[in-house]
């Protein structure tokens, strides 16, 4: 298969404007003749569904929560980037573009990233107009703070609840369209398959989470905005419900999966406390604005942090990366924390933790200012650990948090299946091998508010989708497939819960395809995963019935998909014989232990194509070219 990025040629500053002008339009009276399905009501899907409704399309929006307002975007804490340059500190569209391409270790498509930086500015205006209560300075202007990988302050925030406030903005816009009848909302619906007719995405199969009813929904185009698959690791900062099912089943219908091994391990999470833990909690990167990261210089030092004098502490990020200090990008901060812990300098009972210390900032700025900036995060930490970060440093450790991999999309956000568009964390588009903090919210809203509303019209105007009946053979076949998976799960009469398999799978992926990867480990994982998957299908026990609210059935289906995805992740990681961003192949590192890219051989997007059960997927490469930001060894020193 040939992958056409459809990225415009010509000066990058004008490419999005020129492209928009060239896109075909649909006149307002005709828009109501088109039906669009949006799966997902987070920032990406919610923004898209609301925008489509506003434009005049008929929209059906699906989510598995009881309300669109509960999408996982609600959990985002620290902020959203935009190149407004309010601080007059040297920011610009080009600098945000530059930082993002470099932050992603030169594995993202330049044209997409430039457009993202351009529209970032409009996102803030849009959200302010919706009433999103961004933090303000004393004079009333919007405030900014800094996030990793940038030397400017460009992160807009609403305390530690930025995602919540942004989602409430998108949700209100969506509800308005629901009220006007332009959008029909389907909460508590699980998308279980994609319907492809004559090579075009024409609908989805859903299962009602209330009563198990399987339904067909037909449309002229399908949008997937179903979030990330970080829960493949079992323990992650994602909500328990986050899953890969929608994109995985679309992959099995022919959508290529790009860079599956590019996952982000976030450096500042509350460390794992015990074997039975099922969820990890993020402490926002914003804390690194004021918190200083350190470990005792002496390995095995078990003294309480307050008893360790200043000269016996190692502020290792400030020492190793004097220019960026505690605000180095996530991949670098995570690896550095792991290296300290591996060398025996980790803190806390397990030794898998480093300190994030607010003491200096409290002394400098006062407790009140720190509480204003991070109060809810500090309270959350105290509730979970029983320790008070105003008095004792927080303990943090890296954890699975975000995925840069996802379904491959072109510049128009269309997958390799015509009519199937993918937005937000579910696509692979803009972050390369490492996402900079505060850039996911920016991408989700850029995709939903500012990109897809243009590109969808062009698709519909050119593809002119014909009518498809609810009982078309492809729809019937997809229904049968979804029902068969459900039946197989319920018919198993084994002894183990799906969760217990998920925990075991997650450990394999974490150990061999986590912060560090190597050939031997990846081969081991590729041998172990199929064995465990077979055991899953033989020995899983799903309680309850299909025709009821049944969360163990819901989970079991997701675990089944994670098994297959985990294998693809390891295959991709094994194939990419270089280190870049979050993909750290231990065999390929600089003498200082930094990621060592191989641009001559691996400057491409790896897109995998499903070939059927039991057969290896095939790899297609989309070459990456860099005309504006010259690839170099990333340095934050
Ligand atoms: C704790 C935490 C804090 C974060 N903080 C920040 C931050 O400060 N700044 C930042 O930029 N990023 C942050 N991120 C990342 C960011 O929040 C996410 O990448 C982003 O919100 C994803 O948005 P989305 O719209 O793509 O997906 P989501 O918000 O995850 O929405 C997915 C939607 O798809 C639906 N869905 C999924 N599967 C199915 C299915 N099979 N059938 C039907 N519906 C389905 C869900 O119901 C939901 O509506 C954070 C992430 C975490 C975990």
Residue-wise pLDDT for 429-463, tens only, equals: 899 999 999 999 999 999 999 999 999 999 999 99
Band of residue 519 on the pLDDT scale cut at 50, 70, 90: very high
Ligand 1, atom 20, lies closest to the CA of: 73
Q: Are 294 and 547 in contact (CB under 8 A)?
A: no
- Closest among 596, 607, 606 to 631, alpha carbons compared: 596
pLDDT tens sequence across 582-629: 999 999 999 989 999 999 999 999 999 999 999 999 999 999 999 999
Q: Scan for tokens 């009220």, then name that residue.
A: 179
223-230 average pLDDT score = 98
| Residue 68 CB contacts under 8 Å (≥ 6 apart), including other chains | 41, 46, 61, 171, 174, 185, 187
Choose which residue among 48, 73, 103 to substitute to test ligand 1 binding: the one with the highest number of ligand atoms within 8 A of its C-beta. Answer: 73
Assigned token pair, 547: 């025709």
Q: Is 253 a catalytic residue?
A: no
**Residues 6+ positions from 20 with CB-CB distance below 8 Å:** 454
User: Mean pLDDT over residues 308-329, rounded?
Assistant: 96
Query: What is d(CA 129, CA 124) in angstroms, rounded to the nearest whole number?
Result: 8
Which atom of ligand 1 lies at the shortest distance from residue 439's CA? 11
Position 468 confidence tier, pLDDT thresholds 50, 70, 90:
very high
How far apart CA 373 and CA 238 sit, in angstroms, is: 23
Contact (Cβ atoms closer than 8 angstroms) between residue 212 and residue 496: no
- The larger pLDDT score, comparing residue 233 to residue 493, is at 233
Q: Distance (Å, rounded) from C-alpha 425 to C-alpha 264? A: 12
Tokens of 222: 């399908």
**How far is the centre of ligand 1, averaged over its atoms, from the C-alpha of 58 (Å)?**
24
* Ligand 1 touching residue 404 (CB < 6 A): no
Of 159, 292, 330, 585, catalytic: 330
Q: Is the CB of 40 inside a 6 Å radius of any atom of ligand 1?
A: yes
Q: Is the distance from the beta carbon of residue 64 to the nearest atom of ligand 1 less than 6 Å?
A: yes
- Interior angle at CA 412, CA 24 and CA 7, nearest 5: 100
In this predicted structure, what is the pLDDT of residue 107? 98
Mean pLDDT, all residues of the chain: 96
Q: Is the CB of 77 under 6 A from ligand 1?
A: yes
On the 0-12 / 13-18 / 19+ scale of CB atoms within 10 A, 30 is: middle
Residue 551's SS3 state is helix
Q: Which residues pair with 214 in a beta bridge?
A: 207
Where b means 16+ CB within 10 Å and e means fewer, 145-168 reads bbbbbbebbbbbbbbbbbbbbbbb
Q: How far is the CA of 245 from the centre of ligand 1 (A)?
A: 14
Rounded to whole angstroms, how far apart are CA atoms 589 and 215? 50
What atom of ligand 1 comes closest to residue 157's alpha carbon?
A: 8
Q: Judge if the beta carbon of residue 245 lies within 6 A of ligand 1.
A: yes
Please give the full DSSP string across 357-393, using - where no structure is assigned.
Answer: E-HHHHHHH-HHHHHHHHHHHHHHHHHHHS--TTTS-
User: Ligand 1, atom 51: nearest CA belongs to which residue?
Assistant: 76
Look at residue 160 and tell me whether its pLDDT is greater than 90: no
Assess whether pLDDT exceeds 90 at residue 232: yes
**pLDDT tens-digit map of 340-393:** 999 999 999 999 999 999 999 999 999 999 998 899 899 999 999 999 999 999
pLDDT tens for each residue of 482-510: 999 999 999 988 999 999 999 999 999 99
d(CA 40, CA 48) in angstroms, rounded, equals 9
Distance of CA 577 to the CA centre of its chain: 24
Contact call for residues 500 and 551 (beta carbons, < 8 A) = no
Tell how far the Cα of 424 is from the centroid of ligand 1, in angstroms.
8
Q: Indicate if ligand 1 lies below 6 Å from the C-beta of 63.
A: yes
Count of CB atoms within 10 A of residue 387's CB? 12
User: What pLDDT was estimated at residue 493?
Assistant: 87
Q: Ligand 1 within 6 A of 434 CB?
A: no
Would you say the CB of residue 509 lies under 6 angstroms from ligand 1? no
What is residue 139's three-state secondary structure? coil
Give me the pLDDT at residue 636, please.
Answer: 85
173 has a pLDDT exceeding 90: yes
CA dist 197 → 191, 418, 493, 507 (Å): 17, 10, 36, 39
Question: How far is Cα 127 from Cα 163, in angstroms, rounded to an integer?
Answer: 12
CA 347 from chain centre, in angstroms, equals 29
315 CA from centroid of ligand 1 (Å): 33
């Amino acid at each position: 298969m040939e992958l056409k990025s459809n990225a415009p040629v010509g000066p990058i500053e004008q490419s999005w404007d020129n492209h928009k002008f060239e896109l075909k339009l649909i006149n307002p009276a005709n828009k109501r003749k088109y039906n669009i399905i949006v799966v997902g009501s987070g920032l990406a899907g919610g923004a898209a569904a609301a925008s489509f409704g506003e434009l005049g399309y008929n929209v059906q929006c699906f989510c598995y929560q009881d309300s669109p307002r509960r999408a996982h975007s609600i959990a985002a804490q620290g902020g959203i980037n935009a190149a407004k340059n309010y601080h007059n500190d040297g920011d610009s569209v080009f600098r945000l573009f530059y930082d993002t391409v470099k932050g992603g270790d030169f594995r993202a498509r330049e044209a997409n990233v430039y457009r993202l930086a351009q529209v970032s500015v409009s996102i803030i205006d849009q959200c302010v107009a919706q009433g999103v209560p961004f933090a303000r300075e004393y004079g009333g202007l919007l405030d900014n703070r800094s996030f990793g990988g940038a030397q400017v302050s460009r992160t807009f925030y609403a305390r530690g609840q930025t995602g919540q406030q942004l989602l409430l903005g998108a949700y209100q816009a969506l509800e308005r369209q629901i009220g006007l009848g332009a959008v029909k909302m389907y909460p508590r619906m699980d998308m279980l398959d994609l319907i492809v007719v004559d090579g075009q995405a024409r609908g989805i199969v859903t299962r009602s989470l209330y009563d198990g009813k399987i339904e067909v929904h037909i449309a002229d185009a399908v949008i997937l905005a179903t979030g990330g698959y970080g829960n493949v690791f079992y323990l992650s900062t994602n909500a328990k419900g986050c899953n890969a099912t929608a994109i995985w089943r679309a992959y099995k219908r022919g959508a290529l999966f790009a860079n599956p091994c590019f996952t982000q391990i976030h450096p500042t999470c509350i460390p794992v406390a015990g074997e039975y833990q099922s969820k990890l909690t993020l402490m926002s990167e914003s804390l690194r604005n004021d918190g200083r990261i350190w470990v005792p210089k002496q390995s095995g030092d078990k003294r309480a942090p307050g008893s360790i004098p200043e000269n016996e502490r190692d502020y290792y990020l400030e020492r190793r990366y004097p220019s960026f200090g505690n605000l180095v990008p996530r991949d670098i901060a995570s690896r550095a924390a792991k290296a300290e812990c591996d060398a025996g300098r980790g803190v806390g009972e397990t030794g898998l933790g480093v300190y994030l210390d607010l003491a200096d900032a409290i002394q400098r700025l006062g407790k009140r200012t720190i509480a204003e900036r991070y109060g809810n995060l500090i309270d959350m930490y105290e509730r979970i650990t029983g320790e008070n970060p105003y008095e004792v440093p927080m303990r943090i450790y890296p954890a699975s948090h975000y995925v840069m991999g996802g379904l491959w999309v072109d510049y128009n956000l269309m997958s390799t299946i015509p009519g199937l568009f993918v937005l937000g964390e579910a696509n692979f588009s803009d972050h390369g091998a490492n996402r900079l903090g505060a850039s996911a919210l920016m991408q989700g809203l850029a995709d939903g508010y500012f990109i897809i509303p243009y590109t969808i019209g062009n698709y519909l105007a050119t593809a002119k989708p014909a009518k498809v009946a609810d009982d078309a053979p492809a729809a019937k076949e997809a229904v049968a497939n979804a029902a068969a998976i459900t039946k197989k799960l319920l018919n198993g009469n084994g002894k183990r819960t799906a969760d217990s398999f998920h925990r075991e799978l997650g450990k394999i992926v974490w150990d061999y395809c986590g912060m560090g990867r190597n050939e031997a480990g990846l081969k081991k994982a590729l041998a172990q995963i199929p064995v465990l998957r077979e055991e899953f299908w033989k020995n899983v026990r799903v309680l309850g019935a299909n025709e009821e609210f049944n969360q163990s059935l819901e989970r079991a289906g997701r675990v089944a998909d994670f098994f297959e995805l985990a294998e693809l992740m390891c295959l991709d990681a094994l194939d990419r014989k270089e280190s870049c961003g979050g993909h750290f192949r231990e065999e390929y590192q600089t003498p200082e232990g930094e990621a060592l890219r191989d641009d001559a051989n691996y400057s491409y997007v790896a897109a995998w194509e499903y070939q059927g059960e039991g057969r290896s997927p095939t790899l297609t490469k989309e070459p990456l070219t860099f005309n504006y930001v010259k690839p170099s060894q990333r340095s934050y020193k």
